[in-house]
Amino acid sequence: MNVDELERVVEPDWPSEVHAVLRRADVTHVSYVPDAGHTALINLCTADDDIVTNVLTTEEEGIAIATGAWLGGKRSAILMQSSGVGNCINMLSLPVIARVPLLMLVTMRGEWAEFNPWQNPMGRATQASLQAIGVTVLRAETARDLVETVEQATTMAYDGDQQMAVLIGQRLLGRKQW
pLDDT digits (tens, 9 = 90+) for 100-154: 999 999 988 767 676 676 776 677 889 999 999 999 999 999 999 999 999 999 9
Taken as a whole, the chain contains a residue count of 178
In the DSSP assignment, the letter for residue 58 is S
Task: Give this prediction's pTM.
Answer: 0.90
Under 8 Å between Cβ of 107 and 82: yes
Render pLDDT for 65-80 as a digit per residue (tens, 0 to 9). 999 999 999 999 999 9
pLDDT at 176 over 70: no
Q: Which residue has the higher pLDDT, 172 or 66?
A: 66
Q: Which residue has the higher pLDDT, 58 or 125?
A: 58
Render pLDDT for 74-99 as a digit per residue (tens, 0 to 9). 999 999 999 899 999 999 999 999 99
Domains, the chain, with CATH or none: 13-173 (3.40.50.970)
Closest-CA residue to 129 (of 33, 64, 41, 59): 59
Closest-CA residue to 154 (of 58, 75, 39): 75
* Nearest-10 crossing angle of helices 14-24, 143-160: 20
DSSP letters of 71-127? HTT-EEEEEEEHHHHHHHTTTTHHHHHHT--EEEEEE--SSTT---GGGHHHHHHHH
pLDDT at 44 over 90: yes
Q: Give the model's pLDDT for residue 121.
A: 65
Q: Give the model's pLDDT for residue 16.
A: 97
| Cα distances (Å, whole numbers) of residue 86 to 83, 113, 132, 170, 177 | 6, 21, 12, 17, 24
Q: Give the model's pLDDT for residue 124.
A: 83
pLDDT at 6 over 50: no
CA geometry: angle 143, 160, 147, nearest 5 deg: 10
Q: Letter for the amino acid at 171?
A: R
